[in-house]
Structure 1
Amino acid sequence: MSSEEHKFSGESIAHIARIIDHINLGIWEYNTDTGQTKWSVGFYTALGYSPGEIECSYTNFFDHLLYYHDRNVFLKSTYHPRMGESPVTQIRLLTKQNGYQWFESTTQKHDTGNGPVIYGVITNINKLKLQEVNAAEADFKLAEIGRIAKLGSWEIDVATMGLKFSDEMYEIFELHNRPNMSVEEAIGFFEPQYRSLITDSIDQAMKFCKPYDVELQFRTAKNNVIWVRSKGVPVLNNYGECITLRGVFQDIDSIKKKGIRLQSSINLLDDQNKRLQNFAYIVSHNLRSHAGNLKFMVNLFEDSQLKEDRTEIFSHIKTISESLSATMGYLDEIVRIQSEIAKERKLVNFQTIFNNVASALQTNILNSGAIINTNFADCPQIDYIPAYLESIFQNLLTNAIKYKHPDRKPVISINTRKVGNEIYLVFEDNGIGIDMKRYGDQVFGMYKTFHQNSDSKGIGLFMTRNQIEALGGSIQVDSTVNVGTKFTVKLV
């Protein structure tokens, strides 16, 4: 084989130059000593000009054709210190009709008898560059959408159980060092009560090709508990087998909590509507009953001629009047409870409230011989309306004393509990108890009494429940006849 095969004749080089001139490829030459510049026909053509239509000079190229922002990068590649290498860079040049377009520039330095000469080749890559820019912009927009929507994507290879995360997934996990994780490690981030749900969902998707869409609670690497939505879709092969499980993972904490608050507001509104209906029923029933009795007695009074009869009838009228006045007072109290919901809550100490109530009921406590045990260590304070809390203590403590068992001294236990963000107040006694089978659904009704006690008016527990529920709490009772009664109040 001849060692000259890699060399071209002068005619071959001229032919190659003609080919280059017609494929949108430009060649330039610049002598750094003399400043002499040469551009090939293809160079002019690449910029949309005819040879000689614009000045062929380094100054014209650098000051007018080269985009100003690309000058530093072009100079760095042009004056590359070592010879023989071919630095490649991307620059923008001003074309005749299409404005600035992207070109790839390759340069090489070579020493000649006339001094150092830099050779260069430019190739139009505008379409490719625009595709790259558009793709990068699309990727950026997609990433921004994912960031704004707090939405990430993931993929599990069923054969290897390898797990891949998008950048947004790591953001949701609050793992900024982007570690590789196994499926089991990822599941470990979910709250314990939801791990079986997500595990079963993934297993069902891979084994039986069942997609899933679930909402779960999740604990991030920074120990923040949030609500997330996880959705998985199986990718099947030609045999209908799941080979890949792909899905999205979204932080829906703010949306979920707003939904929970909205549902809580709806429930509260529903409770308030029920109480309003109950109130309207009470007003209608009680006032109509009093008015009917009063009218009947007035008619009897007018028809009676005997002084003794009139005196007796008048005493009944007086009793009805007093009862009506008391009823109006109770109804006014119900209205007042609803109107005071907006009152400012204050930090209240349970022990202080108990001491105030015990002091007011000191005579009752001493006369009954009651033993009262308190323990507020689990939750000593609460943000509450002080007057409401004092009223709750007074009504429940009064009831425990009033309904003591005749054969033993009353023993009353009062304590607080905190479960998560919920605060409970518990009253427990060893009194005569309530028959819950007979009266369980009437305990908190107005004018409902269950014992032959002359002091019972059936209003205390009704008021207590209204105060508690007005602030979003609840009260429940557990009782056994001749054993005792336990009231559990969820304050918040």
Structure 2
Amino acid sequence: MSFSESNTFSAESMAHIARIINDINAGVWEYNTDTKQVKWSVGLYAALGYAPGEIECSYNYFFDHLLYYHDKPAFLKTTYHPRHGGSPVAHIRLLTKQNGYQWFENTTKRHETSDGPIIHGVLTNINALKMLEVELAESNFNLAETGRIAKLGSWEIDIATMGLKCSKEMMEIFELTEDVKMTMEDSISYFEPQYRLLLTNIVNDAIRYCKPYDVEVQFKTAKNNVIWVRCKGMPVLNDYGKCVKLRGIFQDIDSIKKKGINMQSSINLLDDQNKRLQNFAYIVSHNLRSHSGNLKFMVNLFEESRQEEDRAEIFSHIKTISESLSATMGHLDEIVKIQSEITRERKAVDFETMFNNVASALQTNITATNAHISTNFTDCRQIDYIPAYMESIFQNLLTNALKYKHPDREPVINITTQKTGTDVYLLFEDNGVGIDMARYGDQLFGMYKTFHRNSDSKGIGLFITRNQVEALGGNIQVESAVNVGTKFTIKLV
């Protein structure tokens, strides 16, 4: 007979069905709740690894010896399910003969008979499926933990709809909850303005030309925390070579990036200090060799001379050389102090107060030259700096501006501060004699380099100023023209 002809099976068909059930690692059980009588199919014994009769077929034996203790509440819930309703299902663990506890799916059905309420159940071995579920859950957990620890999320764009899907980990980087829905435009708006066009272009290139990308950009979270992130995208192609999806990762690399920036900054500082050390060694070698050579020559002349007049003249030269040597040692000591004072604590320095102190000390020079000095520190009034350095910078630049004034006009000196982002600049401009930058520009900050016939020129002030500024991570730029004036732009931090 055909199954479609009736919903009632023949006895022969039922026998075949029973044999099939017995062969598929599943079994049927029956329990009379009034008489406590239990029946197990041959398949149930086989699913547990036993032969019929090898173990006791009873409710107590099943409940006390085969059923895992932790799964007893779930089994009882299905056993004593209300008389009316669907067939309840429970996943339970049973002790098999050879393989220990294995997972089974238990489906029950209650109905009334003349012998009393009967519960029929089907137990199917689902251990392999359950193990796959456990492994998948562990894999998903490990993947989620890896993403959480690495601060790494994933995303996908469906090109047909341009719909964006984001992982939980990615939403955590955005500092948003999972239920927030974002479009591509929404996500790009979280990036810092200077990177938005870049992100838009590389996403479009990935879709149109199937070009993968990997960039590091700055990003502002929903809670306004600005961090560095890594964005990597990879096109998914169809059989025709067209991009149908765009998948990628999104990673918070803020701590790594900042460590790299700080490390590079330290490397640059070490490199700069090494160059200054080499320059210092050259200065020491050159200047001391010159002094010692001259001194030795004069001493030899003094020893060879017999005339008192000659000896007195030679001795005066020796004295001059000695004084020059002493001055050189003082200058070298100043340079050494710059390096040793780098680690001194920075303090809040008020530009106007510091300048007024320096101008007060140089008031005689200012009055003598009838200099007109204007200051404007409104853009940045204070800075964390080494006070002695700031005083030295003001003093050297102001002294130079007065010393190298133009002979045909009174000095006009403008001093201002400027702040651009986190960078602080000091601008110092005069209308003095100026410097031929094409000729002397590369020597301007050299030690003992002078470019004007001025008896007071020593060529040490700008050398010390540059070393002080660069020691704290800044730099100096100079614009100058002969007979027009000079402008120093000093990046302090």
Q: What TM-score, normalized by structure 1, do the two folds share?
A: 0.92
Q: Tell me if 1:122 matches 2:131.
A: no
Deviation of residue 335 (structure 1)? 1.3
In the alignment, which residue of structure 1 is the partner of 2:331?
330
Is the deviation greater in 12-21 or in 286-295?
Answer: 12-21
Alpha carbons of structure 1 residues 483 and 75: separation in structure 2 relative to 1, 3 Å: farther
Alpha carbons of structure 1 residues 369 and 114: separation in structure 2 relative to 1, 3 Å: farther
Rounded Cα–Cα distance in structure 2 between residues aligned with 1:4 and 1:457: 118
Write the deviation string for residues 115-142 of structure 1: whole angstroms up to 9, x where unpaired.
3332211100000111111122112222
Rounded Cα–Cα distance in structure 2 between residues aligned with 1:295 and 1:59: 115
Q: Tell me if 1:217 matches 2:218.
A: yes
Rounded Cα–Cα distance in structure 2 between residues aligned with 1:164 and 1:264: 38
Rounded Cα–Cα distance in structure 2 between residues aligned with 1:63 and 1:350: 87
Unaligned runs of 5+ in 1: none
Rounded Cα–Cα distance in structure 2 between residues aligned with 1:64 and 1:410: 106
Within 5 Å, give how 1:91-170 maps onto structure 2: 91-170=92-171
Rounded Cα–Cα distance in structure 2 between residues aligned with 1:272 and 1:212: 38
Within 5 Å, give how 1:384-463 maps onto structure 2: 384-463=385-464
Structure 2 counterpart of 1:252, one-letter code: I
Rounded Cα–Cα distance in structure 1 between residues aligned with 2:79 and 2:421: 69
Q: Tell me if 1:23 matches 2:24.
A: yes
Rounded Cα–Cα distance in structure 2 between residues aligned with 1:239 and 1:12: 52
Structure 2 counterpart of 1:109, one-letter code: R
Rounded Cα–Cα distance in structure 2 between residues aligned with 1:84 and 1:275: 89
Alpha carbons of structure 1 residues 368 and 76: separation in structure 2 relative to 1, 3 Å: farther
Structure 2 counterpart of 1:235, one-letter code: V
Deviation of residue 279 (structure 1)? 0.7
**Do the aligned residues in 2 keep the contact of 1:153 with 1:247 (CA within 8 Å)?**
yes
* % identity of equivalent residues: 75
Over the residues paired in the alignment, what is the CA RMSD in angstroms?
A: 2.4
Within 5 Å, give how 1:30-429 maps onto structure 2: 30-429=31-430
**Do the aligned residues in 2 keep the contact of 1:84 with 1:109 (CA within 8 Å)?**
no
**Do the aligned residues in 1 keep the contact of 2:214 with 2:231 (CA within 8 Å)?**
yes
Rounded Cα–Cα distance in structure 1 between residues aligned with 2:239 and 2:28: 53
Rounded Cα–Cα distance in structure 2 between residues aligned with 1:3 and 1:247: 52
SS in 1 for 2:191: coil
Write the deviation string for residues 171-223 of structure 1: whole angstroms up to 9, x where unpaired.
22222244333333323332222233222322322222232222222222222
Alpha carbons of structure 1 residues 282 and 158: separation in structure 2 relative to 1, 3 Å: same
Rounded Cα–Cα distance in structure 2 between residues aligned with 1:137 and 1:2: 43
Task: Give the length in aligned residue pairs.
Answer: 492
SS in 1 for 2:442: coil
Write the deviation string for residues 381-417 of structure 1: whole angstroms up to 9, x where unpaired.
2222222222222212222222223333333333322
Alpha carbons of structure 1 residues 60 and 423: separation in structure 2 relative to 1, 3 Å: farther
SS in 2 for 1:92: strand
Write the deviation string for residues 256-302 of structure 1: whole angstroms up to 9, x where unpaired.
22222222111111111111111111111111111122222223333
Unaligned runs of 5+ in 2: none
Is the deviation greater in 94-103 or in 363-372?
Answer: 363-372
SS in 1 for 2:325: helix
SS in 1 for 2:374: strand
Q: What TM-score, normalized by structure 2, do the two folds share?
A: 0.92
Alpha carbons of structure 1 residues 407 and 182: separation in structure 2 relative to 1, 3 Å: same
Is the deviation greater in 16-25 or in 260-269?
Answer: 16-25
Structure 1 counterpart of 2:425, one-letter code: Y
Alpha carbons of structure 1 residues 3 and 150: separation in structure 2 relative to 1, 3 Å: closer
Alpha carbons of structure 1 residues 263 and 26: separation in structure 2 relative to 1, 3 Å: same
Rounded Cα–Cα distance in structure 1 between residues aligned with 2:234 and 2:86: 51
**Do the aligned residues in 2 keep the contact of 1:391 with 1:464 (CA within 8 Å)?**
yes
**Do the aligned residues in 1 keep the contact of 2:31 with 2:37 (CA within 8 Å)?**
yes
Structure 2 counterpart of 1:130, one-letter code: M
**Do the aligned residues in 2 keep the contact of 1:218 with 1:228 (CA within 8 Å)?**
yes
Regions of 4+ moved over 6 Å: 1-4
